[in-house]
Amino acid sequence: MSGLENKRKYESEAFRREKEAPGATLGALYTPEETWFRVWVPEADEVTVRLYKTGTPEEAEDKQGFLRSIPMKPSLREGESSVWEAIVPGDLHSVYYTYGICRAGVWKECVDPYTRACGADGVRGMVVDLKRTDPEGWEADTCFRADINTVICELHVKDFSCHQSSGIPHEHRGKYLAFTDSTGRNTGVEYLKRLGISHVHLLPIFDFSSVRETGDEDQFNWGYDPLNYNVPEGSYATDARHGEVRILECKSMIQALHKAGIGVVMDVVYNHTAGLDNGFQATAPDYFYRQNSDGSLSNGSDCGNETASERVMCGKFIRESVIYWAEEYHIDGFRFDLMGLHDTETMNSIRKALDERFPDKHILIYGEPWAASASPMEPGFFPAVKANVDKLSPDIAIFSDDTRDTIKGSVFFGEEPGFVNGGRGLEPGMASAWCAWCDGGHEFTPVTPGQIISYVSVHDNYTLWDKLVLTQRAAERGKADYGEKKPQLLAMNQLTAGILFTMLGTPLFQAGEEFGRTKYGDENSYQSSPSINCLDWDRCRDFSGLTEYYRGLISLRAQIPLYRQQSLKAVQAVHIMTAKDQVVEVCLDLEEYPCRWRKIYIVANASHISKATALPKGGRYQKLVDEKSSWLWKRAGLWSKIKKAEQIVETSPVSIGIWGELR
Ligand code: CA
């Protein structure tokens, strides 16, 4: 069948009515007595399940490992005429399997898209008794905290511990288990805990294709090339050949983070697949992929293809995969890569499904509200892009590229500055960013500040430090030295952090931003060496002043209940007093948000002259943050002793000053 014939067929009412099976339970459903194999194959002459002893042919003595093949039959349940099933008696835990599908005399073998375990490099699925993959104490594992003040740190599993200065035992470096190690110094999970973040957001931990799982440790990839969506990546496990090991070790990582009081957000990439030789294409050719009007596969991801979330069985797959990770792995949030390739209806259905399944837990959902290229979504659906943010649930947030670029300059033009590094005319944008773009008059309309993820740097593009070096070099026509701890750059970095952690919206930062992380100007390190990508813990010690500055701000933010107010009401508490001449002055009215302070005055001064601010007469003020420290508010614990401050306060050039009016 041609692509065009497939497209017409899949979009027809008859196919939807007769072939799709939205209510079907799919996958290899294990019990100790028997395993049910259930797969959706809308058109085939024969379907079989093939059982194997090993995860790859090479591991078997006969270079195959084949055990037997069992014919599958169409389900007799209502609405499941396209679901094929086979019930195989016996305890099949750790037996590997694939499906064989025959059409017009041609057999094709594939991995079950729903498989929950696999062998090395994901070439065969594996039947798994998930109970046997639980680390000790897993039933009690939870990360529920009331009144959480969300601050997210974006982190890559390998970056975290592969550097020799990490203090992690050699055999765990770059692995899930690094998170379970106590190093006795300020690295590892203890470091994250001390930083005060509420969540880590892990770059892909599902099974991706680019790294050979049994290959050498010098390999590196971010992992945005999905292979098996419901299986953890094997290269982060100590043994990729036995399917249950990666599951146990991935859960152990999550458990260790939870024990430290840190929630785990998973980066999910449902928008495209690594290639097309997979279970999606074998079970239902072209169905899971979006198609151009001529039937060819479209490429809105710029990675060769894009999935079609608006097709019922594809949306179902994504939704069920998310629920599975939340349920089985206790995941606390999901970050959708290129969310703009998904339709708003599917995104909202995922929100609803999570809320119904976990009524007592608030699981985060946020994503990139853009696509990489144009996408031919079927008519009647809306892409989850920035312009459609108001069509998304208030509990689905978007990365704000506007906030990012306004604060420190465009990601596309390395030398173009933003507010903190000398850019002009950005004050109105800064004022809007402070209100999480809920102040109206923009091309997009967030329903609540909770819909905005405020950030300046993530894995993509230059690190914040590298961006500051580049803009500074352009300004001074000098040479950039990424390694040097220049006071001017530190000042800009501190100002950036001061802004980021006092805005509405949810702050998110790339791990290491708080210690001047550099990739030496590498703006797309997705497959660069581990030495470029790793977190350098020696540098962390060297830049400990900057880290402390981040820590103080995160801690201060946690004291202010306003930042837990995710509704539009929060915007009423933010008053922009000045937004001109490279200065933004903001007053937070905390009358309705009980804490030490009645009002907080924030002065972000990006100019090269000191800024004088008149605080209203009659108040008792406490200096909370200045250019030297973000911990002043804490040290002055005996605030009753503070004398009436001078009415005029000064904020140094390129710095942030924050004052609190005591109640
Ligand atoms: Ca893999």
Q: 220 with 214: CB under 8 angstroms?
A: no
Helix (H, G, I), strand (E, B) or coil at 159: helix
Q: Which of 80, 154, 181, 368 is catalytic?
A: 368
Helix (H, G, I), strand (E, B) or coil at 246: helix
DSSP state of 210: S
Helix (H, G, I), strand (E, B) or coil at 153: strand
**Predicted confidence (pLDDT) per residue in 222-266, tens digit:** 999 999 999 999 999 999 999 999 999 999 999 999 999 999 999
Q: 316 with 249: CB under 8 angstroms?
A: no
Q: Quickly count: other Cβ atoms within 10 Å of residue 182's Cβ.
A: 12
Q: What is the mean pLDDT of the chain?
A: 96
Is residue 640 very low, low, confident or very high in pLDDT (cuts 50, 70, 90)? Answer: very low
pLDDT recorded at residue 644: 63
- Strand order of the sheet with strand 27-30? 27-30, 34-40, 83-89, 73-74
Crossing angle of helices 487-500 and 544-558, in 10° steps, is 20
Q: Residues 203-212: what's their mean pLDDT?
A: 98
Give the phi and the psi of residue 46 in degrees, each rounded to 5. -145, 150
pLDDT recorded at residue 347: 98
Q: Is the pLDDT of residue 146 over 70?
A: no
> In what helix (H) or strand (E) does residue 608 lie, and over which residues does it extend?
none
Q: Residues 47-59: what's their mean pLDDT?
A: 98
> 342 alpha carbon to ligand 1 midpoint, in Å?
24
Identity at 589, one-letter amino acid code: D
Strands 106-110 and 452-454: unpaired
Q: Is the pLDDT of residue 493 over 70?
A: yes
> 536 alpha carbon to ligand 1 midpoint, in Å?
25
Point out which residues pair with 99 in neighbouring strands.
49, 110
**Predicted confidence (pLDDT) per residue in 261-290, tens digit:** 999 999 999 999 999 999 999 999 999 999
pLDDT recorded at residue 84: 98
> 117 alpha carbon to ligand 1 midpoint, in Å?
11
Q: How much is the CA Rg of the chain, to the nearest whole Å?
A: 26
Q: Which of 154, 337, 402, 627 is catalytic?
A: 337
Q: Is the pLDDT of residue 159 over 90?
A: yes
d(CA 141, CA 105): 50
> 239 alpha carbon to ligand 1 midpoint, in Å?
12
Task: Please give the distance of CA 86 from its chain centroid, rounded to a whole number.
Answer: 37
Q: Classify residue 265 as left (phi > 0), alpha (psi -120 to 50) or beta.
A: beta
> 208 alpha carbon to ligand 1 midpoint, in Å?
4
> 235 alpha carbon to ligand 1 midpoint, in Å?
6
pTM of the model: 0.97
> In what helix (H) or strand (E) does residue 566 lie, and over which residues does it extend?
none
Widest CA span in the chain:
89
> 541 alpha carbon to ligand 1 midpoint, in Å?
33
| DSSP string for 419-452 | TTTT-SS-HHHHHHHHTTT-SS-SSS--SSGGGE
Is residue 643 very low, low, confident or very high in pLDDT (cuts 50, 70, 90)? Answer: low
**Predicted confidence (pLDDT) per residue in 348-406, tens digit:** 999 999 999 999 898 999 999 999 999 999 999 999 999 999 999 999 999 999 999 99
Q: Is the pLDDT of residue 638 over 60?
A: no
**Predicted confidence (pLDDT) per residue in 558-595, tens digit:** 999 999 999 999 999 999 999 999 999 999 999 999 99
Query: Cβ contacts of residue 660 below 8 Å, gap of 6+?
Result: 596, 597, 599, 600, 601, 621, 622, 624, 633
- CA angle centred on 109, ends 108 and 112, rounded to 5°: 130
- 368 belongs to the catalytic site: yes
> 228 alpha carbon to ligand 1 midpoint, in Å?
8
pLDDT recorded at residue 144: 66
Give the phi and the psi of residue 106 in degrees, each rounded to 5. -105, 125
Q: Residues 318-333: what's their mean pLDDT?
A: 98
Paired tokens of 300: 């809105």
d(CA 191, CA 63): 46
pLDDT recorded at residue 411: 93
Q: Nearest to residue 62, comparing CAs of 53, 73, 70, 51?
A: 53
* CA torsion, ordered 368, 369, 371, 377, to nearest 10 deg: 130
Paired tokens of 331: 């995941």
Give the phi and the psi of residue 180 in degrees, each rounded to 5. -95, -5
pLDDT recorded at residue 148: 76
DSSP state of 152: E
